[in-house]
Amino acid sequence: MSSYGRVRSLDRERHAIKYGKPVVSKLKGGVMKLGESNRGYYHIILRKDGKAYTLRINRLVAEAFIPNPDNLPQVNHIDGDKKNNAVSNLEWCTGSYNIIHAMDTGLKPCRKKVKCIETDEVFVSVVEAARQKGVSQTMVSLICNHKRKSTHGLHFEFV
């Protein structure tokens, strides 16, 4: 593992039978090809004792090179680029910090405020509006996105 997120396979031996005789080939390790998850993170599949493990590169780099004395659970990409796994671009953080950072950098949309037309109340989110009004979150979201007109006689819109 390098501080830039490159993973090298181990030197190993391959055992085979050729023309009825056992043959041992020595294979030199090399830089492994990374996979990309559907969420945009690089990962690698490592095998041990016949079992495959999928590991995120950012976490491997952080565990190898960045101290974590507070035992923080997540790894954040400082510049917001999920593909930049250089040790200088990674930091340990809490889940809430990671979400706030994603919103601040524009990687994750901020919650939209929701207004109930009938009462003129403004709520911090679809979830809060639904909870306060005793209606389905799905319905509030559909109404705000102009896919439904109302629920239980209430109309909502994004502010």
Tens-digit pLDDT profile for residues 105-130: 777 776 789 999 999 999 988 889 99
Residue 75 above 90 pLDDT? yes
Q: What range defines the domain where residue 148 resides?
A: 114-158
Q: Are residues 62 and 132 in the same domain?
A: no
146: tokens are 């102009």
Predicted confidence (pLDDT) per residue in 86-103, tens digit: 999 999 999 989 988 887
- pTM of the shown model: 0.66
Structural domain includes residue 128: yes
Total count of domains within the chain: 2
Q: Are residues 52 and 82 in the same domain?
A: yes
In whole angstroms, what is the distance from residue 96 CA to residue 135 CA? 27
Q: Are residues 77 and 99 in the same domain?
A: yes
Structural domain includes residue 4: no
Give the distance from CA 9 to its chain's centroid: 25
Structural domain includes residue 5: no
